[in-house]
Structure 1
Amino acid sequence: MDLHQPTVEQLDLTTILQALGDPVRLKIVRELAAAGEQICGAMDLGISKSTRSHHFKTLREAGITDTRIEGTHRHISLRRADLDARFPGLLDAVLQTAPVA
């Protein structure tokens, strides 16, 4: 199964900032930045499965995360190198300045 994920050249600043503007998605990004790759179902977000899926899809389609499917699990990781290549320092600036929910 192929999931849509933009190339580095397709990363769009407005789309990325909109995705990061949601507190739940920002929490996901913070957790991935701190702990590395996670299985999406193992992250304790306090939201329903369908809402969780929506947030992961939004982050993936914005180019912030990478989703790797292995069996029945979806492994989520930050595309830090791609984001830093396209928008140097953006991810670090957002993570350092955004309030912790």
Structure 2
Amino acid sequence: MTETATTGRALPHPRPQEIRLETVLHALSDPMRLRIVRELAAVEAELSCSQFDVPVTKSTTTHHFRVLRESGVIRQVYRGTAKMNALRRDDLEHLFPGLLDSLLAAADRQAARLGDGG
């Protein structure tokens, strides 16, 4: 079943062959976007946008999710009125083996070193 079959609203995502390393790295270079990705990786499930506690405005949060989606880091789908987010872990691992896990481990070490947890 396609996203439009269940919701009538589909969001554009790059196909796996369109995902570029420099775009992924750019998306993950922002602390708020990295925080979102770390949260998604920690739960290994879909989360709605409202489940993220990020200290920025709703419009800024929307921008961060769009950058992550357009870069190919996350997949967003509507489930009812909620926009659900999931990591595109399989696509990223196929294209760039070990990259996501390495970046997440480095982010965890940095958070521990800086004592900020996020």
TM-score (norm 2): 0.82
Cα distance in 2 for residues equivalent to 1:48 and 1:31: 18
Cα distance in 1 for residues equivalent to 2:60 and 2:50: 12
- Deviant stretches of 4+, over 6 Å: none
- In the alignment, which residue of structure 2 is the partner of 1:5? 13
- In the alignment, which residue of structure 1 is the partner of 2:90? 81
Cα distance in 2 for residues equivalent to 1:71 and 1:53: 18
Pairwise CA distance, 1:42: 1.7
Gap runs ≥5 in structure 2:
1-8, 112-117
Residue 70 of structure 2: which of 61, 66, 80 is its match? Answer: 61
- In the alignment, which residue of structure 2 is the partner of 1:29? 37
Cα distance in 2 for residues equivalent to 1:37 and 1:31: 10
Of stretches 91-100 and 6-15 in structure 1, the one that deviates more from structure 2 is 91-100
Residue 26 of structure 2: which of 18, 22, 29 is its match? Answer: 18
Gap runs ≥5 in structure 1:
none
Q: Deviations over 1:22-74 (max 9, x none)?
A: 00000000000001211111211121110100000000000000001012100
Given residue 60 of structure 1, which amino acid in structure 2 is its aligned partner? Answer: R
Kindly tell me the number of residue pairs found equivalent between the two proteins: 101
Cα distance in 1 for residues equivalent to 2:88 and 2:73: 6
> Who wins on radius of gyration, i.e. which is larger?
2
Cα distance in 2 for residues equivalent to 1:84 and 1:2: 24
Greater relative contact order: 1 or 2 (C-alpha under 8 angstroms, separation 6 or more)?
A: 1
> What is the root-mean-square deviation in Å for CA atoms of aligned residues?
0.9
Given residue 46 of structure 2, which amino acid in structure 1 is its aligned partner? Answer: E
- In the alignment, which residue of structure 2 is the partner of 1:46? 55
Pairwise CA distance, 1:2: 2.1
Given residue 93 of structure 2, which amino acid in structure 1 is its aligned partner? Answer: D
